[in-house]
Amino acid sequence: MKLLTASALLCAMMALTTAQDECYVPKKPSCPAGWTEYNKKCYFYVSTPLPWGDAQRNCQSMSANLASVQSLGEYQLIQRVISDGSRANGQTWIGGSDGQQEGYWFWIDGTRFQYTNWCRGEPNNAGSEQCMEMNFSGDLCMNDQSCQSRFPSVCITNKSYFLG
């Protein structure tokens, strides 16, 4: 009986000591190829000209939204994303809109509307302009524009989304 107990104990110890430890190593968040990283977010330039709503749906198909701008640094980064993607600084959709209430601007991703770089005299709602573009005129500023106009766009998402 002692031999049987000792054998069982030995087998149990061998099973425990020879088993390989599985260790979970978390992946570091990163942006996928073609996206630009800044401040824990990923930015992507979409060159296809689309109306604002279609541009937003296109961003959503990539688990993103049209870009919101929270600071001068982020504004400059988005300018770089646009110029790198287009080799120019053309008019480009971002995620600002006052479509729900005229004069009350919000970001489509729900973040607080705290930074703007409006062009002089903008937003002016000339011709029912309720969507925001960047790079209007030579001043590279923000402008309200008809949502049916077709422009390229910039999408944004948190880089933690890409942890697959």
pLDDT in tens, 5-60: 444 444 444 554 544 545 555 566 788 889 999 999 999 999 999 999 999 999 99
pTM of the model: 0.79
pLDDT on residue 80: 94
The full set of domains in the chain, from first to last, is 35-162 (3.10.100.10)
Q: Please check whether residue 78 is in contact with residue 95, taking contact to mean a CB–CB distance below 8 angstroms.
A: no
**Is 69 a residue whose pLDDT tops 60?**
yes
pLDDT in tens, 27-40: 667 888 899 999 99
pLDDT on residue 81: 96
